[in-house]
Structures are given as structure tokens and as C-alpha cells.
Amino acid sequence: MEIIAYLASVLIGLSLGLIGGGGSILTVPVMVYLFGITPLLATSYSLFIVGSTSLLGGYQHWKKGLVNGKAVLYFGLSSIVTVFMVRKYLLPLIPSHLFSIAGFTVTTNLVTMLLFAILMVAAALSMIRENLSNPVNPSATSGRAVKLLLYGVGIGLATALLGAGGGFLLIPVLVMLLGLTMKEAVGTSLMIIALNSLIGFAGDLGHHQIDWFFLLKITAIAILGLLLGLYVSRNIDGGKLKKAFGWFVLLMGVFIIITELMPIF
């Protein structure tokens, strides 16, 4: 099982390198089901692992001129503040046991995993269905700063509550609203994910006992996957790869829902 867990950690970085997202979709299930970490701590670890890995990937794209500073600024203004405030001040107030129904106790861990699974299914359907091959004219998207800021808040909430970087949500927005090319969207997405995730993790410091050796080890493995993904992405059709990854995420999401709800029935 441990070998499978480490191999899965490579996939975290691999997905970020290939499609600019999906790392956090894998990280939390890997932490919970393969390493046996509690869901809340898993979301915290996910923020650090995905944030660090995305930062390196974003830097590689920035060197090639494939990071849009305007998009990073607009999303950053709203999403980073949202992530930090929720992780620092809201999450510590949520009790571990929420309520009971017919003798069954609904816990924060259960709700976290179910919400994460729902997010996985939604993300998977988005990756399977979307067609981003024909981006709009950038001039047609001017004057949409407010809309971008609101998207930033939404992505910030997803990042804060579930440890999800939001790359699968970011890329369609970057392409459709700002008219970025797919390569620019991937690079910009990685940079935004990095800022959101690392700021969110900073908000967690003091609330969790962090196993730094384990965390840095998994992060290093994920970074190796990222570098492999960046290399392989030069010769692979990103659209087809994204759809295949979407089906994989869909199956994982359904698996988590069944696993978490099984004790109820």
C-alpha cells in the first residue's frame, strides 16, 4: 500500500505539469485513503504540496512568458484574501461533530470528504465536456474585472475549505473571459494555484501539528512528477489528456461518495 501511495504522489505533480490542474483533486484522497491522514489535516497538507509544486511549474512557464500578470492580480486580490481568512479564522471554529440524525453522527471529516467528492465529480464533468479550443477575442473580455474578482472569491472558498487549488475551475475562466491560449492559461493557473495554496497553508500554521519530514518528502516526489509532466506535455495533446484525466477523477469521486456513505446504510 505504501508503494502505491508514493506512486500516487507522483501523479499529483504529473497532472499539474500536464494540464495545469488536478493536483489537489488527487492529493486529498491520497492523503486520506493511502496515508491514513485525517481529512482536515489532508486539506492542509494538500495546500502545501500543491502550492509548492505549482510554484515551480508556474515559474517554468513564467520564464517562457506564459503567465498573464493581469489575471494573477485580479484573481489574487480576491482569492488569496478569501483563502487566508477562511483557513485562519473560520475553519478553527467548526466543531468536529456537527449534528446527529437517527443516531448517526455527521462529522466534519464526513462532510469534507463528501463535498470534496462532489467537487471531483463536477470537475471531472467539466474536463470531459468542455471545449476550449476556440478562445474568445481578448478585446471582448475587457471591463470584466468585477466578474474575475467574484470568480476569485469562489475559487478561494474551494481552496480554503477543501484544499483544492482550483485549476480545473481556473483554466476555463482564463480562456473564456480573458482569451488566453491554453498554454498561457496553464502557466497562469499554476501561479494562481501556488499563491492561493501557500497563503492558505500559512493560515493553518498553529492550528495543526505538521509532520514536516513527511510533508517535504511527498512534496519532493510531487515535484518530480511535475518535471516529468512538463517534459511529456511537449508531445501530448492536452485536450485528449484532460478528458482521460476527467474520467479518472469521475471514478475516484464516485468511489469516495460510496465509501463515505456506506456506513450510513
List the grid coordinates of 244. Answer: 482521460
pLDDT given for residue 93 in this prediction = 80
pLDDT given for residue 139 in this prediction = 45
Span 57-82, pLDDT tens digits = 888 889 989 898 888 887 777 888 88
Span 5-59, pLDDT tens digits = 888 888 888 877 776 666 667 788 889 888 999 888 888 898 899 889 889 888 8
Tell me the residue range of the domain where 95 lies.
2-264
pLDDT given for residue 137 in this prediction = 47
pLDDT given for residue 48 in this prediction = 92
What type of residue sits at position 125? L
Number of domains within the chain: 1
Contact yes or no for 40/22 (Cβ under 8 A): no
Within a 10 A sphere around the Cβ of 208, how many other Cβ atoms?
Answer: 15
pLDDT given for residue 224 in this prediction = 92
Task: State the greatest distance between any 2 C-alpha atoms of the chain, in Å, as a whole number.
Answer: 58
pLDDT given for residue 120 in this prediction = 77
Across the chain, what does the average pLDDT equal?
79
pLDDT by 10-residue block (mean), the chain, 265 residues: 83 76 76 88 88 88 88 80 82 80 78 82 75 48 66 79 68 75 82 86 83 94 87 70 76 85 74
HSE, side-chain direction, 13 A CA sphere, residue 69 = 3
105 forms beta bridges with 100
Q: How far is CA 94 from CA 90, 108, 165, in A?
A: 7, 8, 21
pLDDT given for residue 213 in this prediction = 94
Q: How far is CA 194 from CA 92, 96, 216, in A?
A: 23, 28, 16
SS (H, E, C) 86-127: HHHHHHHHCCCEEEEECCEEEEHHHHHHHHHHHHHHHHHHHH
pLDDT given for residue 141 in this prediction = 43
106 forms beta bridges with 99
pLDDT given for residue 1 in this prediction = 66
DSSP 206-262: TTB---HHHHHHHHHHHHHHHHHHHHHGGGS-HHHHHHHHHHHHHHHHHHHHHHHHG
